[in-house]
Amino acid sequence: MHSPPTASLTEGPVQPHRLPDVVAGRIRELILLGELKDDERLPPLEGMLKQFGVSAPTMREALRMLEAEGLIKVQRGSIGGAIVRRPTPQMAAYTLAMVLSSQRTHKGDVVEALSQLEPLCATLCAGLSNRKSTVVRELRKINSASRALLDGDELAFNETMTRFHTTLVQRCGNDTLKLLTGALGSICLADVRTWAKSTSAHGHYPTAAERLPSIEIHEHITDLIYAGNAVEVASVMTSHAKVTRKYIYGGSDLTALVDPRTVHHSR
């Protein structure tokens, strides 16, 4: 004879899906699949009530859920309505920054992770079959722009050098890696720009002679990607990350916590 179970398998009767969740889930699916385009305006409330066969309070709650997720923007007023906002990497960066902040993560942790992931992106770039006509072509254009700014506007030069890294990440061919690495890069970008503005304003930004080695490293990395030398490009990228970290964070407090407010939450 079997003994009765000592604990209930559930906390109560199984509840059916709440209608607002079902409605929000369907609209969310249409947005993520691209059937609802970015900036597309959803039908008026009356039209959606007929399409879904639900009450106005149910539909409004579903829309509030989607707005909280950043998937729609509800406009009030005479021309009100809900506008589709498809997810962007910048939204992912902001969310990631909030999670890291809630975990009391230090900036140094993010910088270290980025210095590990960027070499991996460079390795993948070196393995692309079309690398010469895609990533290499783009990187060489950026390198040329950097050389043109070698003795010019310091902040413009800094942005061009930063674009080398973001391009290398975005052209690595792995969607997951470029999203994650790009998000971490966005978190660090505010520090990079703050450093550039501060050193430029105080006359401490690297001189043309001091900038040249960084350009030459970028050119060397580009040549290694062109040659498909994945092992060497990873090594050079790792060394380059250490130098960059020393320049930008040498006098900074890397024990400071990640601050989501530094990540511009835009589309």
Give pLDDT tens digits for 88-97: 888 889 899 9
At 140 the pLDDT is: 98
User: Do residue 136 and residue 255 come from a single domain?
Assistant: yes
User: Do residue 139 and residue 244 come from a single domain?
Assistant: yes
97 vs 113: CA distance, rounded Å: 13
User: Do residue 99 and residue 25 come from a single domain?
Assistant: no
User: Do residue 79 and residue 110 come from a single domain?
Assistant: no
Number of domains in the chain: 2
Specify if 203 maps to a domain. yes
> What are 84's strand-pairing partners?
72
User: Do residue 153 and residue 216 come from a single domain?
Assistant: yes
User: Do residue 253 and residue 184 come from a single domain?
Assistant: yes
| pLDDT at residue 265 tops 70 | no
89 vs 256: CA distance, rounded Å: 24
Specify if 30 maps to a domain. yes
Q: How many CB atoms lie within 10 A of CB 99?
A: 11
User: Do residue 68 and residue 166 come from a single domain?
Assistant: no
pLDDT band of 245, cuts 50, 70, 90: confident
Of 15-19, 111-115, 147-151, 157-161, where does mean pLDDT reach its minimum? 15-19
User: Do residue 192 and residue 103 come from a single domain?
Assistant: yes
Of the three residues 61, 84, 107, the one that is the final residue of a domain is 84
| pLDDT at residue 5 tops 60 | no
| pLDDT at residue 130 tops 90 | yes
- Greater confidence, 153 or 244? 153
| pLDDT at residue 7 tops 50 | no
Of the three residues 84, 101, 126, the one that is the final residue of a domain is 84
Domain that holds residue 56: 19-84
Q: Which of 262, 96, 139, 106 is CA-nearest to residue 195?
A: 262
38 vs 16: CA distance, rounded Å: 31
**Confidence (pTM):** 0.79
CATH of the domain at 249: 1.20.120
User: Do residue 140 and residue 245 come from a single domain?
Assistant: yes
**Main-chain phi, psi angles of 120, to 5 degrees:** -65, -40
Instruction: Please check whether residue 84 is in contact with residue 37, taking contact to mean a CB–CB distance below 8 angstroms.
Output: yes
